Chain A
Amino acid sequence: MVINVAPKSTKPKDFKDDFWKSKDIKISIGEIAHDEAKGGEEDVKMGPTPKPNVTDLRSWDMKLIDRYEPFYAPFCDMCCLCTYGKCDLTEGKKGACGINIEAQQARMVLLACCIGAAAHSAHARHLLEYLIEKKGEDFPIDMGNNVDIEAPIIRTVVGIIPKTLGDLREAMDYMEEQNLHLLSSCHTGQEGSNLDFESKALHAGLMDNLGKEIGDIAQIVALNMPKGDADAPLVELGIGTIDRDKPVVLCIGHNVASGAGVIDYVEDQGIEDDVEVCGICCAAIDITRYNQHAKVVGPISKQLKFIRSGVADVIVVDEQCIRTDVLEEAKKNQAKVIATTDKMCLGLTDMTDEESDKIVSQLINNQIEGALILDPDKVGEVATKVAMQIAADRDMLKLLPDMDEIQKVAHECTECGWCTRVCPNGIPMMEAVVAAGEGDFTKMEELYDNDICYTCGRCEQECEREIPIMSIMAKIGENKLKEQKFNIRAGRGPIQDVEIRRVGAPIVLGDLPGVVAFVGCTNYPEGAEDVAKMAEEFLERNYIVVTSGCGAMTIGEYRDEEGKTLYERFSGDFDAKGLVNVGSCVSNAHIPGACIKIANIFAKKPLEGNFEEIADYILNRVGACGVAWGAYSQKAAAIATGINRWGIPVVLGPHGTKYRRLYLGRTDKEEKWQLNDIRSGDVVSGEPAPEHLLYAAENREEATVAIAKLCIRPNDTSKGRQLKLTHYIDLHRKYFGTIPEDVYKFIRVEKDIPITYKKDIKSILEEKGWEPRALPQEPSIRDFPDDSKAEIQGK
């Protein structure tokens, strides 16, 4: 019995009130059909856990982490969170507060997840209130005729069916309260068990998923972004697509409000052809969802390169993943910076209440070094006017050192090697500098291409000869402008219900080998091609590939031998061989959203307040796998942990181990893989599927094989299992040269054996003394007859 001491101040929603509210708004035919199918909203049955508190889903978490035990890789041996410390936690030593190294790692993960969830959700809250102010709280949530289940996460977790922007506040309030409790448990002398810290981190991850869904729904409906359009337009991408002869406004960050303000102003003035509006990071994705004339410079890895190039006249920053030294960098070429949110004020004077023209003149005359403007409409006006007035004078500043000069400075290199040592990826920058000093720029170009160097700037500041390595990179980019022209399919938002109806069965039965989602930052260990190549591999193999944010951009930066991008080669359908860009970071919510919808639309599982049953369904039946390949922020910790709680495995790149915690399964422990067949009531032995919940691979080849394996699910039919194993074996042979020796673990009956590999597999089966076993009809890890696993014992 769990004693719940956290205050339960939020009650499940009274649906009657909500029902009457919904009568006031115009509803589409689709909605009526949906409501009828459900027997009217009054009949919505509330599951056991609407608005779960911190401890309400703890038994589910304990089941997950019993099978997928936390694997800790301490990034630091000490704790310095309070003034009793620093405390040394090596060799079994505990901190002055009594915490041990495992709990400390789990606490840091929880902290990261709380930060990540807060970043997404504060962004969502800001957008929501801004859009309510603009459109009114009764503005309807209408996702178009093809999306009835508009908010699968909100429905499942919060237990409400939001009908208006105002309704989203209830979900937001709940999320914010939970995050507060979670953050509090990171305080000295609170939680002491690493497993409970994990359970809280999983809760924080879920809150992150919820916050993202609120944010994306609000912006989709209020800003009329694409609503699940598979054929959303292709938009221009790449440094080379920006017209340098025009005034350029660059938006960096994640919050669309200020970028939309710029677009609106430019359109109102009818000067679309005279100004370039472009973006870096998710702000870019979202302004192109708002207006397809905007351009995408590229992912986060382009940030310093592009700022140094001096092309941007005005840099509008909003929130998250922006270089915090943007003001200092902008000053180097007299670009003007406008900060636009409370998250990042950069020490600038708040000019929100000043007249636009006064701010413009102060910026132009260098009376202020930048401005904080918290009103997106005013941002639009000021940014555009400033850009138009200073662009001509800044022409000279857009010139980078010429190649002779570069050779001369590079020649100063002492070959101390520190640039390479401080590089997060150990990139051979020294060799490139030395070669440049001898007039050979090819090595520099190699590092520039595909963002192998992601211009973090660490090498430059370490250089004892102060060689301006980042400016050299920017110059190299200038020489290659013509090549830097690509495209990306504008973010489409949710997956349509009709698509789920079409692919739900093939996914659950295994006839469609899997859904692979590439999300997160692009600071990849081996450059941008890593992810594009993985995406290509799975697309060619009939998987559904979903992507978002910076990952979606790098996929667009890759061309095949015929010069086509993957967006040109593959459709945007959520179907086999579909390459689906859902949108920005907050749009990631649509990925678990699609899995939830499969449980609801295909399997008729009720959603409201029914988290555990849905997550159990996804874990055992929906062959989906997330991939976050780059070095990434706290948001990724939250995204991945939330995705994990839904039962979806995630593969990280090698930097992922620095999150300090993975969730790894042990295939040698057969008892961990038992399944409860709900239909027959029997406990049956299962396969390690998915084998891990959170895995870090050392390189692309390893990751590719791991992804294919992680799409296997206990529910696969024999036909589906054959198909999935064929891909797993094919890829294993391609990258490791052999048939994987663990293949026998995934063969339940002879019919599971892929025909192409029959002979080889049969001999493996014989060698391993394999015996056939029963296929569960409804595999689950819940409610075992003898449910000792459900007890929360800790360890």
Chain B
Amino acid sequence: MDIIGIDLGDLMNERVIPWQPTVIAGPKQALLVTPETAKMMLKKAKRPLFVVGPLAKEEPILTLTKEIAEHWDLPVVTTGDAYKIFKDAGLDSKQNGIVEIVNLLKDPEWKGVKGEGQHDLVMFIGCIYYIASQGLSTLKHFAPHLKTLTICKFFHSNADASFPNMKDEEWLKYLEKMKTD
């Protein structure tokens, strides 16, 4: 790539400055991950959970999200009004407000959506950026028993691990990769 006058370091930074730059909260920042690392995290997790928000309602994200959930056999919680369209598309989920599910996730005693025990990894897609950022902050501070991973096209500094800021084209490639082992 021919990048005249632009420092490559800047370009890298650009990917890991929180997408809304002012959500930056302090010294603890998310780890930038690729689909490969994200998949490693899913493989290692004993009880992962997939939280899907209303921004994932549109195609092609809807289908990709559904396929990722199915490939990894993930229990799904839908937030906002995402429940209906995913159900119509054949993906069953538990409907919760994002603050409700985060409230449950921060309780180490909670038994998880399947009643089998608290989750140890929560992967997010499609939640509205700034409310998601707040929810991730809650989990960062009050849920040391689990890790958070975001696979939106926005860098989420409050997560433990996040995809970088990306344009749609690159993001779709990332999501495609998430569908395989």
Give A residues with C-beta under 8 Å from B. 71-78, 88-92, 101, 421-422, 424, 426, 525, 654-655, 657-658, 662, 664, 666, 668, 695-699, 701-702, 706, 735-738
Does the CB pair B131–A706 fall under 8 Å? no
In the complex, which residues of chain A have a beta carbon less than 8 angstroms from the beta carbon of B144? 91-92
28 pairs, A vs B, C-beta closer than 8 Å: A71-B99, A72-B138, A72-B142, A73-B135, A74-B25, A74-B137, A75-B25, A77-B25, A78-B25, A89-B26, A90-B28, A90-B140, A90-B141, A92-B144, A426-B129, A654-B128, A657-B134, A695-B97, A696-B99, A698-B53, A698-B54, A698-B97, A698-B131, A735-B81, A736-B81, A736-B84, A737-B83, A737-B88
For the complex, is B127 an interface residue (Cβ under 8 Å from A)?
Answer: yes
Instruction: Decide: A701 and B131 in contact? CB cutoff 8 A.
Output: no
- Contact A73–B26 (Cβ < 8 Å): no
Residues of A within 8 A of B137 (CB): 73-75, 77
Return the contact of B80 from the options A78, A89, A702 (Cβ within 8 A): A702
Q: How far is the CA of A738 from the CA of B53 in the complex (A)?
A: 18
Instruction: Look across to chain B and name the residue whose beta carbon is closest to the beta carbon of A691.
Output: B100
When A71-B99, A698-B131, A699-B54 are in contact, do A77 and B28 touch as well, CB less than 8 Å?
A: yes
Q: Is the CB of A695 within 8 A of B80?
A: no
Q: Does B50 sit at the interface, judged by CB under 8 A?
A: no
In the bound complex, do residue B26 and residue A654 qualify as a contact, i.e. CB atoms below 8 Å apart? no
Whether the Cβ atoms of B99 and A658 lie closer than 8 Å is no
Contact of A664 (CB < 8 Å), options: B25, B53, B103? B103
B162 adjacent to chain A (CB < 8 Å): no
Pick from A90, A91, A702: contact of B97, CB under 8 Å:
A702
Cross-chain contact of B21 among A90, A101, A422, A695 (Cβ < 8 A) = A422
Contact A88 B26 (CB under 8 A): yes
- Chain B residues with CB under 8 Å of A75's CB are 25, 134, 137
Residue of B nearest to A699 (CB): B80
Given known pairs A72-B142, A664-B99, the reply for A77 and B27 (CB within 8 Å) is: yes
Please state if A71 and B138 are interface contacts (CB–CB under 8 Å). Answer: yes
Residues of B within 8 A of A702 (CB): 79-81, 97
Q: Which interface residue of A72, A73, A78, A90 has the most chain B CB atoms within 10 A?
A: A73
Interface centre among A88, A91, A662, A699 (most CB of B within 10 A): A699
Whether A662 contacts B99 in the complex (CB less than 8 A), given A74-B141, A657-B131, A701-B81, comes out as yes
Contact of A699 among B26, B99, B128, B135 (CB under 8 A): B128
B98 at the binding interface (Cβ < 8 Å): yes
* Binary per-residue interface labels of chain B (96-123) against chain A in the complex, 1 for a CB within 8 Å, 0 otherwise: 0111101110000010000000000000
A723 to B3, CA, bound (A): 65
Question: 6 closest A-B pairs (Cβ-Cβ)?
Answer: A77-B26, A701-B81, A657-B134, A73-B134, A737-B84, A698-B80
Decide if B130 touches A424 in the complex (CB within 8 Å).
yes
On chain B, the residues within 8 Å of A73 by CB distance are 99, 102, 134-135, 137-138
Across the interface, which residues of B come within 8 angstroms of A90, CB to CB? 26-28, 140-141
| Closest Cβ–Cβ distance, residue B31 to chain A (whole Å) | 15
Q: B145 in the interface, Cβ–Cβ < 8 Å?
A: no
Q: Mark B40-76, 1 if CB is under 8 A from A, else 0.
A: 0000000000000110000000000000000000000
Q: Is the CB of A735 within 8 A of B84?
A: yes
CA distance A89 to B97 in the complex (A): 27
B129 to chain A, nearest CB (A): 6
Q: Are A71 and B103 in contact (CB under 8 A)?
A: yes
Query: Is the Cβ of A657 less than 8 Å from the Cβ of B25?
Result: no
B26/A76 in contact, CB under 8 A: yes
With both chains docked as a complex, state the minimum distance between the C-beta of A345 and any C-beta of chain B, in angstroms: 28
How many angstroms between the C-alpha atoms of A112 and B49 in the bound complex?
35
- Measured CB to CB, the closest approach of chain A to B13, in angstroms, equals 14
Give the residues in chain A near B103, CB-CB below 8 Å: 71, 664, 666
Note all chain B residues with C-beta closer than 8 A to A74.
25, 137-138, 141
The answer to whether B141 touches A696 (Cβ under 8 A) is no
Residues of A within 8 A of B26 (CB): 76-78, 88-90
- B79 cross-chain contacts in A, Cβ below 8 A: 698, 702
Bound complex: CA A664 to CA B84 (Å)? 24
With CB as the reference atom, state the residue of chain B lying closest to A525.
B128
Give Cα A709 to B130, complex, Å. 25
Contact of B20 among A422, A654, A662 (CB under 8 A): A422
Closest to A73 in B: B134
Q: In the complex, A664→B131 CA distance in Å? A: 16
Alpha-carbon gap, A633 to B175, bound state (A)? 38
User: Of residues A422, A658, A664, A702, which shows the largest number of chain B Cβ atoms within 10 Å of its Cβ?
Assistant: A702
The distance in angstroms between the C-alpha atoms of A706 and B98, with both chains bound, is: 13
A525 to B83, CA, bound (A): 20
A701 cross-chain contacts in B, Cβ below 8 A: 54, 80-81
Which residues of A lie under 8 Å from residue B141 when comparing CB positions?
72, 74, 77, 89-90, 101
Cβ distance A72 to chain B, nearest Cβ, rounded Å? 6
- Return B66 CB to nearest CB of chain A, in Å: 16
Q: Does B87 contact A (CB under 8 A)?
A: yes
Return A245 CB to nearest CB of chain B, in Å.
Answer: 42
Q: CB < 8 Å: which of B22, B53, B99 contacts A695?
A: B99
- Residue numbers in B under 8 Å from A91 (CB-CB): 28, 144
**Residue B124 interfacial (CB < 8 Å):** no
Q: Write the chain A residue with the least CB distance to B54.
A: A699
Q: Do residues A657 and B135 form an inter-chain contact, with CB atoms below 8 A?
A: yes
Give bound CA distance, A664 to B103, whole Å: 8
Interface membership of B19, Cβ < 8 A: yes
- Residue pair A421, B21 in contact (C-beta under 8 Å): yes
* A666: B residues at CB distance < 8 A: 103-104
User: Can you add 6 more A-B contacts, CB < 8 Å, to A73-B138, A654-B130, A695-B99?
Assistant: A78-B27, A657-B99, A657-B131, A698-B131, A735-B81, A736-B95
Residue of A nearest to B22 (CB): A422
- In the assembled complex, the Cα of A706 lies from the Cα of B87 at a distance in Å of 20
Q: Which residue in A72, A525, A664 is a CB contact (below 8 Å) of B100?
A: A664
- When distances are taken between beta carbons in the complex, the residues of chain A under 8 Å from B88 are 737
Shortest Cβ distance from residue A795 to the other chain B in the assembled complex, whole angstroms? 13
Q: For A89, list chain B residues within 8 Å (CB).
A: 26, 141
Residues of B within 8 A of A77 (CB): 25-28, 137, 141
> Do B81 and A699 have beta carbons less than 8 Å apart?
yes
Inter-chain CA distance A696–B25, complex, in Å, is 20
Chain B residues with CB under 8 Å of A736's CB are 81, 83-84, 95
CA–CA, A655 and B27, complex, Å: 23
